[in-house]
Structure 1
């Protein structure tokens, strides 16, 4: 009988020579590399070597695929957590641009570590901080009160000059500011053109009254503005500014501090007098304690104030409950009183006495506006501007 001799393949020879599964060669080489690496001080490499030998000793079959996957997953999870050992080994790894991190009691301490950052990044962060700081400062500022400046005007020789001069002053005042200009019977195109080109917020009103029954034109014009403020519930500080007066910017900025009613001294200069007359409050700080007056005929007045020498909160007109007014009757100027008494009768509707007034500037020690009377009354043009006869002169021209 013939005998058949089977020779072993090189694969089986390596298997039996090593005394185990052919996978043992690769497992041993990998474990030796792990053990010979001095960077790892953890005992897990020896544990992993045993696990790999266990896996290598298992016969490869379909029933063992699930077991192998579970073991490999668990082994990878454990090695991922503890492969590098202690944090001390991090300092031995050569990362580009690395820095030493101080260790205190086996914990990472970053309190005193200096982390360098690029200069471009520093500039960008600093710019963002400054922008945020500036925005916070703007948001923390209290919004300024609106100024409602009421100006009655009428047709005369210097009307355009006066309106332009007052408008240029108001243009320099910090907003919000509303300029209410009131004309009689009809709105002139010249006035509308001046207001439109001034570049400030304005309202052009018309007071429709029969001029034959009017004693003081300005009283009805101011009442039209008061009615407009009350009807539209405009919130701000109301100030009657005639177009022929002279005002300082400090006066308008001081008005924003008024809570209810503010007053200040006014210097008046008339054509018939060669000296200025001071009229207004005497103050102790911001408290009104008396009045300046030089005219004996005005001693009967309760408050010695010029029309351009006070301002008040507009809510007094349309919110009487806020200021505990005894009556809700409209507050208006009176045309039935004698000349010079319009101011005091109007102020008596706003406040009860001096305790509800505020003197500005503190101490009332400076004159912030002048009331000038430079025009002759009942004349369209001042004296010397008109001629008695027309000049019929014909001038020949040659070409």
Structure 2
């Protein structure tokens, strides 16, 4: 029988049967979720703080990192430029990334000296541009992010989450983000290719941290890399004075922030009792670019963002 000759009441009955089947087949799937399953499906927000600065490989590093982060659920990226103003490169990059982000900026404090930096200004020098010594890179950026995060958390009903200090040129496996969601207070794990070692890591006995596998300044209060720990975000409100400092020695920034939240023996060993490496302290090699004065033929690329 041609479809056009089917009576309207038959079509109505067929549509009604279809709707009923759809309703009864989908409803139990929702109702059968037990409270235990619903609770276990909760994912704490990961607030990742990333200082960044203008350089030729900046966009390449941020692109590589963002390709990883787009696979992380319930993630908030706080990216802070070392700049007097937000750059178009980073602003446009973040808009196109599809990630949930907050874009901040603050310029690193610097002091000009002809040779040695005044000890009263900074106890060590990190890098030099022309006659300017820059101290403790990332301090102002991370502190600004912590200030923003405190203000943000105060407005939220659910303040649960994880704070992670994430450099823009490191390499991160997705598993490291799964691990940090298990944190009660402060969790830690190994970091590969750091401190002159294949892997720098806490030593664990019977589920407790009893020492550290570190050869670079092993006497540090917390001889671990910035990429090797994360903090429960609720602790940030409990410790309103917690911040980084420019008045500490090189390599002590991790210890400076961790002292507010935990003791070495209270760190929570993650990543299979600190036996798995899910993050690597990689660094992008500085590109070798021919200066315009040495070009044999004209090159017209100033209008291209790299």
How would you bin the TM-score normalised by the shorter chain? 0.7 to 0.9
1:193 aligns with 2:92: yes
Please give the residue correspondences for 1:344-359 in structure 2 after superposition, counting only pairs within 5 Å.
Answer: 344-354=255-265, 356-359=266-269
**Displacement, 1:259?**
0.7
Structure 1, residues 359-387: CA drift from partner, whole Å, max 9, x if none? 111321111110023435xxxxx3x3233
- Indicate the structure with greater strand content: 2
Give me the TM-score of the superposition, normalised by structure 2.
Answer: 0.74
Alpha-carbon separation, structure 2, partners of 1:393 and 1:125 = 73
Residue among 160, 163, 171 paired with 2:62: 163
1:360 aligns with 2:258: no
Alpha-carbon separation, structure 2, partners of 1:288 and 1:171 = 32
The structure-2 alpha-carbon separation of the partners of 1:222 and 1:135, relative to structure 1 and needing over 3 Å to count, comes to same
SS at match of 1:238: strand
**Displacement, 1:394?**
6.7
- Indicate the structure with greater helix content: 1
The structure-2 alpha-carbon separation of the partners of 1:121 and 1:172, relative to structure 1 and needing over 3 Å to count, comes to closer
Cross-structure match for 2:11: none
Alpha-carbon separation, structure 2, partners of 1:344 and 1:268 = 20
Q: Highest Rg: 1 or 2?
A: 1
Cα pair 2:222 2:264 within 8 Å, conserved: no
**Displacement, 1:157?**
1.0
Cross-structure match for 1:317: 236
SS at match of 2:44: coil
Cα pair 1:286 1:361 within 8 Å, conserved: no
Cα pair 2:193 2:199 within 8 Å, conserved: yes
Cα pair 2:72 2:177 within 8 Å, conserved: yes
Cross-structure match for 1:145: 44
Alpha-carbon separation, structure 2, partners of 1:278 and 1:140 = 35
Give me the TM-score of the superposition, normalised by structure 1.
Answer: 0.58
Alpha-carbon separation, structure 1, partners of 2:100 and 2:212 = 35
Cα pair 2:53 2:81 within 8 Å, conserved: yes
Which one scores higher on RCO, CA 8 angstroms, separation ≥ 6? 2
The answer for unaligned runs of 5 or more in structure 1 is 1-117, 321-327, 377-381
Instruction: Report the number of matched residues.
Output: 256
The structure-2 alpha-carbon separation of the partners of 1:286 and 1:219, relative to structure 1 and needing over 3 Å to count, comes to farther
Cα pair 1:286 1:362 within 8 Å, conserved: no
The structure-2 alpha-carbon separation of the partners of 1:265 and 1:122, relative to structure 1 and needing over 3 Å to count, comes to closer
